[in-house]
Amino acid sequence: MLSSDKHYGMPVLLFTLAILIPAARADQADAGKISQPTTRQLQEELKHQQERIGQLELLVKQQGLLLEKLQERLLGQSRVSTPLPAAGATEHREPVSPPPTQAEAQSYAAKAEALSSKVDGILKSVGGFRFSGDFRYRTDVAVRSGNSAAGPVQNIRARYRLRFNIDKELDPRFRFHAQLATGPLNNGITNDQDFAATVAKHVPLISEAWIDYHPVSSFALRVGRMEEVFADNSRFLWDDDVRFNGFQQIARVQVGTNAMGLKEIEFRAGEYILSNPNIAILSANSPFVLAGFEPGKRVPAANLFDPGAIIRGSLGDKWSHQLTVDFPIYRNPNQIQLASVVTGNVVMIDRSLGIALAGPMTGTGNATTTQGGAIYSAPNFQIARLAYRLETKALRFGDRAIPAWLDVQVSRNTGTGRLRDALMATMNLGAVKGAGDMRFLYQFAIKDANALISQFTDDDLGTGSGVNLATHGLRFDVGIARFLQFQNLFFIQNQRRASDPSDQFFVPLPRGAGTTFRYQGQFAFTF
């Protein structure tokens, strides 16, 4: 079923029909209407902006009145409305308001917070476009002692990441989103930019760009460049910076109350296009031959298909849980490895971008049949994954809520018979939403050499190799302000398997290499 290049044609057709049918009806309803003059349009836009300014002024005034009232209640005083009494006269005093209760103070604070959020929303919105983003400064330290198995590592660097989001609701059914981000062009699993290149300017890149169509709240289609449909920022299957070009669909079914506590089943599917060789007859000197494609034949595209489901439920009033099952299937995966080989990078990346990169795509780590070759040791990558998360928001420390969760994920590459398993367990306590909030996290992961595609999985949990590793991860975050966190991440990584030339099994970072230690200390700003 995976031998045809037309598998991703069906999502294109579905998405096109879903758009064109409502659009045609709208065109019929609008038939005969005459466009207004440009001056009229400008007047309407000006009127709209004046209304929004008026809303902003009203919200600011309401917020000020709430804060003044709260301040008066906290002081336990009211303004004196009569002059001081004359000598010998009976003094008359206005009644003193009692101090507010804790519930009243929290209510005033909540109202002020809601008004502040509305004001921020108006300030960030221009002509219906909403803007947001984040900036992160990171100190990144990776060290490893050298030996006969692998050389030393001593990489101490400063890095930054800038992301800028643009969102626009076109109408109740359509939403547009784009993201510009920093990062090197030949590294798809990071948006970090090193403090390097003397004073050369860094290029902003299109990290995300998609249109979302949601005719009802329980169904959505998306097309463009986006996160993988099952991305969860867990460092297991996908790096949190990797983005794919293609299509995805989400359909939700409400289950309702039952004895098992199930609430919702969410069906998801993603179809992503990884390459477009456009080669009807392969020449004998083409780099695609290095990836196992036969001369004289057609070269099909590389694709990723990922169907699955998320089942959500509750365990009483204080606990919730979810089960995720998905099955990422890669078609012609050797083209991914070919993009990480110097000669293959030209046909896989440079021709599509229209520029020549300084080097091949990074993120290697899987076993290959030759040293540094373009053919994976695993014949196929057909990965079955199961993930379970248990979560509660009932824990408290004083007046602070402390969310806690446990996440366990396992996977197996059914496309090969050896070194094909991966697992990860993560425990988290706390979340940072404001000043003084703290978060603690510990995780342990094992990813064998044929388990996952190294070029797409996390590059912090796996330094120098995304797979063939066992890693302990620790994290501690503290909130400095509503918009600022200080985050600390520490990784201890060891390699799992050594190369075996007699079995055509070669890994870039083998077992026996020194333990890799990595620390990332970073200030994260959001706006």
Q: What is the DSSP string of 400-425?
A: EE--EEEEEEEEEETT-SSS-EEEEE
Please tell me which residue, 279 or 80, carries the higher pLDDT value.
279
Check residue 41 and give its pLDDT. Answer: 63
What confidence category does residue 418 fall into, taking pLDDT thresholds of 50, 70 and 90? very high
Mean pLDDT (the chain) is 87
Q: Which helix (H) or strand (E) holds 241?
A: none
Provide, rounded to the nearest whole percent, the portion of the chain with pLDDT above 90. 72
Q: How far is CA 134 from CA 40, 121, 163, 484, 521, in A?
A: 38, 16, 5, 10, 16
Check residue 128 and give its pLDDT. Answer: 86
Check residue 103 and give its pLDDT. Answer: 62
Digit-coded pLDDT (tens) for 137-174 = 999 999 999 999 999 999 999 999 999 999 999 999 99
What is the pTM assigned to this prediction?
Answer: 0.79
Burial of 19: CB neighbours in 10 Å, binned 0-12, 13-18, 19+: middle
d(CA 213, CA 210): 10
Asked if residues 359 and 345 have their Cβ atoms less than 8 Å apart, the reply is yes
Computed on alpha carbons and rounded to an integer, the radius of gyration of the chain in Å comes to: 28
Digit-coded pLDDT (tens) for 85-122 = 555 555 555 555 565 565 665 666 666 666 666 666 66
Digit-coded pLDDT (tens) for 21-62 = 554 454 444 444 444 445 666 666 666 666 767 676 676 677
Check residue 317 and give its pLDDT. Answer: 86
Digit-coded pLDDT (tens) for 463-476 = 999 999 999 999 99
Digit-coded pLDDT (tens) for 62-78 = 766 766 666 665 555 44
Average pLDDT rounded to a whole number, residues 80-86: 48
Please tell me which residue, 461 or 11, carries the higher pLDDT value.
461
Check residue 31 and give its pLDDT. Answer: 44
What confidence category does residue 6 fall into, taking pLDDT thresholds of 50, 70 and 90? very low
Average pLDDT rounded to a whole number, residues 254-262: 75
What confidence category does residue 338 fall into, taking pLDDT thresholds of 50, 70 and 90? very high
| pLDDT exceeds cutoff 90 at 234 | yes
Report the alpha-carbon angle 123-128-129, nearest 5.
Answer: 75
Asked if residues 253 and 302 have their Cβ atoms less than 8 Å apart, the reply is no
